[in-house]
Amino acid sequence: MANNKLIIDERQRDLGNFLVGRLLPFKKKRQVGPFTFIDHMGPSQIGNGNYVDVDQHPHIGLSTLTYLFEGQIEHKDSTGSHQIIRPGDVGFMTSGRGVTHTERTPQAIRDGSVSTLHGYQIWVGLPSAKEEMEPRFDYFSKSQLPEIDQEGLRIRLVAGNGFGLSSPLQGYSPLFMVDVYSENETTLKICGQVKGEIAFVIVKGSIISEGQKIESGQMMISKTADECEICMDNNTQILLFGGEPLPEERYLMWNFVSHNKERLLKAKEDWIAKKFDKVPGDDTYIPYPGE
């Protein structure tokens, strides 16, 4: 492996009926640009009583980005937002000073049928000046995301700027997230197309970079910002993401992110004391670990 690359394997963890693969943070790399946390959901079978039901839980200091390839997630939060997220759509909840939300399988598909849920949930750290902003939820349908499709290579810009495209989802600091699918074996040229730190999540198939093969379930982080190109195998899909690092280190404690450790402790105390705003009409509560 070239010494300017870091290869990370998914670490499996069990969420009740579902297995989730954790890719970030990693002990040798805590963030990539402003991205602080990446979970790979599925592919998991949904149906016959096996549904997603993540009760009310809090966040501070970050934006959550939900991006699906298959299935549906129903999002509700304490700002009053209510949205069903479908494949290719983006749900972007910014917690700021504090928000609570739930994630569930929509009632409409709890009909005994079986379907697949597959996607990623990503946390993006907020700049310190935005960490206490008012919470909000933004939604962008698949049709709103710009893409290039030429000779079996599809490049869709999920967030930020890259490959000559600009997403309606810009976030709060310079970043990018790109969904790339190659029908045929091809070379993807990257140099000059995106700015900042770069990571590659292999959704399916494989890529080769400087003779190193990286496969589905792995993530490659380039330690340099001038990554030139990768070779994509046929029927390969990757997520390319990164951007400019935030100037201060970000600390994670449960569902909270901040550049200030004392702020994390206050969020913990506030959640235990039930001081966070609630999702309208929802009294569920996920206790703080060990509570």
* Euclidean distance between CA atoms 123 and 266, whole angstroms: 20
Q: Given this model, what pLDDT does residue 5 score?
A: 59
Least confident span in 4-13, 57-66, 149-158, 254-263: 4-13
Predicted structure pTM score: 0.90
Q: Which two tokens stand for residue 26?
A: 């990693």
* Euclidean distance between CA atoms 201 and 204, whole angstroms: 9
Least confident span in 52-56, 157-161, 198-202: 198-202
The radius of gyration of the chain's CA atoms, rounded to the nearest angstrom, is 19
Q: Is the CB of residue 97 less than 8 Å from the CB of residue 134?
A: yes
Task: Please name the residues in contact with 39: beta carbons below 8 A apart, sequence gap of 6 or more.
Answer: 20, 21, 22, 23, 120, 121, 122
Residue ranges per structural domain of the chain: 5-243
pLDDT digits (tens, 9 = 90+) for 19-28: 444 445 555 5
Question: Per-residue pLDDT for 248 more than 90?
Answer: yes
- For the domain made up of 5-243, give the CATH fold: Jelly Rolls (2.60.120)
- The angle formed by the CA atoms of residues 278, 284 and 285, to the nearest 5 degrees, is 85
- The angle formed by the CA atoms of residues 107, 113 and 114, to the nearest 5 degrees, is 105
Task: Say how many C-beta atoms besides its own lie within 10 A of residue 289's C-beta.
Answer: 9
Q: Is the CB of residue 267 less than 8 Å from the CB of residue 148?
A: no
Least confident span in 126-135, 136-145, 213-222, 250-259: 213-222
pLDDT digits (tens, 9 = 90+) for 92-149: 999 999 999 999 999 999 998 999 999 999 999 999 999 999 999 999 999 999 999 9
Mean pLDDT of 232-237: 96
* Euclidean distance between CA atoms 205 and 228, whole angstroms: 20
